[in-house]
Structure 1
Amino acid sequence: MDGIDFLSTDRYSALGDCPVIVVPAADWRAPASPVQAVVIGIDAAGTLPPIEPDCFDILLTSASDAGAPWVCVPPDRIEEAADALAQAVRANPVAATVLAGVVRATAGIPANSAIAVESMAYSALLGGAEFRRWRERSVLPPAATGVGKVSCAYDEDGVVLSLASPETRNAMTAAMRDALYEALANTLDDPTRPFVTVRGAGRCFSSGGDLGEFGTATDLSLAHVIRTARSCAGALMALGERATVEFHGASIGSGLEIGAAAARRIARRGAWFQLPELRMGLIPGAGGTVTLPRAVGRHRTMWLALSGRRIGAEQALAWGLVREVRE
């Protein structure tokens, strides 16, 4: 990769034939010219060589007990794992490289500013060809318009908010987002400063965004304004240590992104977590490029998004996505 210079940077982007770079982690040095390509470093020997993490978007190792920023993969599957990630980038190179750029750029800025950057990128991708292709080849259910209740109760610890649409597996419709934001805003405005616990009714915490609503916005700039003005992730982060989220069952997409914003995160045994947006030609758009890197680091966030794989409660605990696992 020594030949990467400013004249050749287009090649290492969604415009060229190298939107992803897979290299031995020990050998990679970032070029002088910035590249948009997703950079995946591999430690096939499991020696955890000294590296500059900022030069990579994902780091894979065959070591079995490596800490952040590494993702551990069995030695006989590390090449296969790297190839699967590279294929995911090549399938949706615009979304993948935009995701890498957003996660890199927002790592050191205030959360609210980072959420705004994510939202602008998300709106841009909603108007893109990769998302359009996904919609054209998908059979999507009707939008659950207006569905998305949030119930509010009080106990000795404060306010308990429950996503209360178990019939949709608590799909994060616009109506549910608005209801949850209103409830969180009320607690933020409450001068008694109550503690808040967010739960999900039924079999899971949340199955994520309502698929029927994806792509129905007619004004993508206004959608950005609404998304940032009513950011549930931003409201949960503003609550600080007063906010707890209890995950159970599935927490997918926006359900995970919003839940990860809480300072205290608890999972029931059997809970699992997933980011599926990239295969749709999108990036996480409910705060996930902000909340998840602050919980598990940006390299593991990129792995979750590019792989689309589920992780269970125990791995979530090991990574710091949750603080506690309960029966």
Structure 2
Amino acid sequence: MQDMTQGMSYGVGITAIGGRIPELVVTNADLENRLQTTDAWINENIGIQTRHWSAPEEGTSDLGAAALVDACQRAGVDLDSIDLVICGTYTPDHMIPAAAVAIMRKVGMRDVPGFDVNSGGCPGGVFALDVGAKFVASGQYRRVAVVLSDVTTKLFDPEDRTVGVIFGDAAACYLLEPTRPGVGLSSALMRSDPTTYETAFVKREKRSWPDGNPKQTHFGDNFCYMHGRSVRDYALDRIPDFVEELVKNSGLVMDQIDLVIFHQANYHLIHTLMERIGLPAEKTHTTVQRLGNTSGSGVPLALREALDEGRVKPGDVVALVAFGAGMSHGGTIIRWPEAEDYVRPW
């Protein structure tokens, strides 16, 4: 790690994206039997057909560890070549140590730093990514893993259809390496509005079943809460102008963007946002219809699938835009590197 020149600035590229999707598939028909909802309502309002829920014994670090291993396999690198592990999560296995350390323990890593970034779950696909990118750009770290992992379903009130129809569990892992300046990730543009703090958050309160018995989640008296209409209104009010600002700050115009990956909150919302920014639906990619809203891993998992399908080529310009609890939103522009753009002075 110390071979690189201290203080030297680099660009930052994503060399691989790993992923882990739990095996349990929950369909809209399954939810009709659990909640007061219908397949028709979910499709019409959210556009989700299926989502994946983690098993009872499957935690954030389990999903994150699998995503990290997958990323390394895809990049063809060893785990011991990673200099830093960052985990973006709001559902750590324990309050301490960091989920990043739990992930490192499960994959057998040691003697490198690991820490967490809690940016409110869903925004993490950009917020945590930007944290990792700055460590690479500094020249002090050669290869950084940024893991996004959440088990949101373990915070469900079983009777709350608001969150029950939307969220799924998953993990993703960006592998970051230095590039020559001018290609790769731009410095992220990020915002938070504390006046909307309670639009989406984890409530800590006592709840009970109709018979009076205590109702708890995997995390005790903590329950995922979201006012869906307010989240939609926030996104439609803030995100189109934000994307225009992001693109302009990068010295581009909207038509130069080859692909936009939005936070995978709602299938219909994503396509409405594409209309608002003046780009065709063909310039985005969605996984929400099959995976649900997977919090911070939604952006990297959608980007990963687009890469696998050959929709991103060297030289393409990709915009990543995430939004969620806080309410916070962030974006970054990626000028996708050529293989020769990577700088590996070790």
- Could you tell me the TM-score, scaled by structure 2's length? 0.24
Higher helix share: 1
Higher strand share: 2
